[in-house]
Structure 1
Amino acid sequence: MCGRTACTLGPDELCKACSTQIVTSDGKKQYQAPQWQDHPGNYSYTPSCNMAPSRFTPVMISEHHVRGTKRAIEGEGLSPQYVIHPMMWGLIPPYYKGSSRTGHGYSTTNCRYEGIEEKKTYKPSLTKGQRCVVLCDGFYEWQTTKGDKNKQPYFIHAPQPEGVEIWNRESWDKPDVWSEEEGWKGPHLLKMAGLFSSWLSTEGEKVMSYSVLTMESGKKFSSLHHRIPAILETNQEVEDWLDFGRIGYKEALVILKNEVEVEWHPVSKTVNNSRNQEPNMNAPVSLDKKPPETASSKLMSAWLSKGTVKKESPSITPIKKETVVSNEKEEKPFSFKNWLKKECDNSASNK
């Protein structure tokens, strides 16, 4: 399953990170970034290392969903056009009638690949071509370690370019991180297949929401968890998943696979609580049982090593054992029997 993600890039950075190469009308090759579109109303996207369900996070959709068309207009261009749109994580069932966007009571954070065509919650999105790509730095998964009742969280992300650490902004945030000539040189985002829906509350409020498709894990990832999101690794896979006019949903589902190249590392258990919003929670940590050395513990150690004087054992000269010979006769121990015999002998001699 996928129940927590990290998405730390701003809207402009997200668009540039999803740029694709196009050929202009004059035959020139250049990179083009998707457009950003805000969610209607007061709902907005805020970057975070600890995204939980019901938060509004960025997803990429075909521009035809925005324009209301199904196929590109003839002569308009052959390059696919995308829009990045924040949506609520947790698809609102299309049959739900209510005033609260989270009041339906169903668990729709993930939608299982198996039997998805029969689910009345997701079938309308499939048939309408409402397919999206969920964008994030990566997602968290919890593994129960041997002999430990607590679950250890891991951060799973796409393979990164050399020298780029997706959890360390200083490793990639440079002035030339993107250009029309070279495209995006920053971190590679993780792109997951999803379905989205547009819902209207009884109060007339419009909410866009989505669900992440999950599958049985392949051989590599099964060592960490038995399910994995449907990850799209290439630009062609992204294009095929989003192009609902060219590729029907049955064919699109066949594209999805569970054997993908991902990397993961253990992270701090502070991510267990979704209210924790500290930065860099997706950074690697050591699983060494020894507690990490803090500034105060370092100061104490230095003070103790400086103030402690090593005590040396006094030099002791061993004493030679000698036999002492006494000139006096050795006194025999007192015996009542001998004393009584002596007294009797004295009485007899005095008579």
Structure 2
Amino acid sequence: MCNRAEDQFAPHARQDLERLFGDIFTWPEPRERINPTDPLLAVRVQDDGYAAVPLRWGLIPPGKTSEDLKRLTTTNARVETLSEKPTFRGAFLEGRRCIVPLSAFFEPDAARTPKRGERKRWHRVHRPDHRPLLAAGLWEVTVTPDGPLESVTVVTREPVPDLDVHDRMLALLLSQDLDAWLRGTPQEALEAAMTSWPSGLLVQTTA
């Protein structure tokens, strides 16, 4: 599963995002490594346009706290079970869907188990033209003693055939399928998340 990401957008990648969603971005300091519980930039529907907001990475459903979820990983949500898992079902079926723009994501080397004392080896997955990756996401809001807390998870799917570092990958979307994910019926959104991304658009390097 993807629990490490990057938002080091090249200037032309920022321009791509502004062309797609409008002048809605306050660009954060670029980060080489984004970890669970860090803020993750998400784009969601607002009125007739979009809003770009930083959300806690690791979805917390209403009525729950981060303490309740200590034994669960909510940074990723499997697309095949979005309609079934109580943690994600409400956000998915009620349309709290978003787009998570990234410059790259990282997957651990599934074929190699680190020896004692060795660090896990990661593969950086990105577009060779450095255009932004647009991942399907879900967002939620829950009430805490400190006020409302908004959080996000990134949807995953089976990998495309030419991405062989892990048995899952982010559910990436082509621009033509953004509306189906954000505004479509649950079935339209599922189809977009499962099938939008083709082979041949990603490269992987050892991080």
Unaligned runs of 5+ in 2: none
Cα separation, 1, equivalents of 2:176 and 2:198: 17
Residue aligning to 1:4: 4
Cα separation, 1, equivalents of 2:112 and 2:146: 51
Cα 1:7–1:146, aligned 2, differ >3 Å: closer, same or farther?
Answer: closer
State how many pairs are aligned: 199
Residue aligning to 2:124: 155
Q: TM-score, normalised by structure 2?
A: 0.84
Cα 1:146–1:138, aligned 2, differ >3 Å: closer, same or farther?
Answer: closer
Moved over 3 A (4+): 12-17, 144-151
Q: Is the 8 A contact 1:15 1:33 kept in 2?
A: no
Residue aligning to 1:264: 204
Cα 1:148–1:240, aligned 2, differ >3 Å: closer, same or farther?
Answer: same
Identity percentage of aligned residues: 25
Q: Is the 8 A contact 2:82 2:88 kept in 1?
A: yes
Q: Which amino acid aligns with 1:3?
A: N
Three-state SS of the structure 1 residue aligned to 2:95 is: coil
Matched, 1:50 2:33: yes
Cα separation, 2, equivalents of 1:189 and 1:218: 18
Q: Which amino acid aligns with 2:121?
A: Q
Cα separation, 2, equivalents of 1:52 and 1:122: 20
Q: Is the 8 A contact 1:134 1:194 kept in 2?
A: yes
Cα separation, 2, equivalents of 1:208 and 1:147: 35
Matched, 1:193 2:131: no
Cα separation, 1, equivalents of 2:105 and 2:170: 9
Three-state SS of the structure 2 residue aligned to 1:226 is: coil
Q: Which amino acid aligns with 1:61?
A: R
Residue aligning to 1:126: 92
Name which one, 1 or 2, has greater alpha-carbon Rg: 1
Q: Is the 8 A contact 1:91 1:210 kept in 2?
A: yes
Q: Which amino acid aligns with 1:156?
A: V
**RCO higher in 1 or 2 (8 Å CA, sep ≥ 6)?**
2
Cα separation, 1, equivalents of 2:58 and 2:149: 11
1:108-147 to 2 correspondence within 5 Å? 108-144=74-110
1:172-187 to 2 correspondence within 5 Å? 187=130
Cα 1:108–1:16, aligned 2, differ >3 Å: closer, same or farther?
Answer: same
Q: Which amino acid aligns with 2:137?
A: G
Three-state SS of the structure 2 residue aligned to 1:123 is: helix
Q: CA RMSD in A?
A: 2.6
Q: Which amino acid aligns with 1:95?
A: G
Q: Is the 8 A contact 1:144 1:152 kept in 2?
A: no
Shift of 1:152: 2.4
Three-state SS of the structure 2 residue aligned to 1:20 is: helix
Q: Is the 8 A contact 1:34 1:84 kept in 2?
A: no
Shift of 1:63: 1.9
Q: TM-score, normalised by structure 1?
A: 0.51
Unaligned runs of 5+ in 1: 22-31, 39-44, 65-71, 73-80, 161-186, 268-351
1:41-80 to 2 correspondence within 5 Å? 46-64=29-47, 72=48
Q: Is the 8 A contact 2:3 2:75 kept in 1?
A: yes
Cα 1:148–1:52, aligned 2, differ >3 Å: closer, same or farther?
Answer: closer
Q: Is the 8 A contact 1:139 1:155 kept in 2?
A: yes
Three-state SS of the structure 2 residue aligned to 1:198 is: strand
Cα separation, 2, equivalents of 1:204 and 1:146: 43
Cα 1:259–1:13, aligned 2, differ >3 Å: closer, same or farther?
Answer: closer
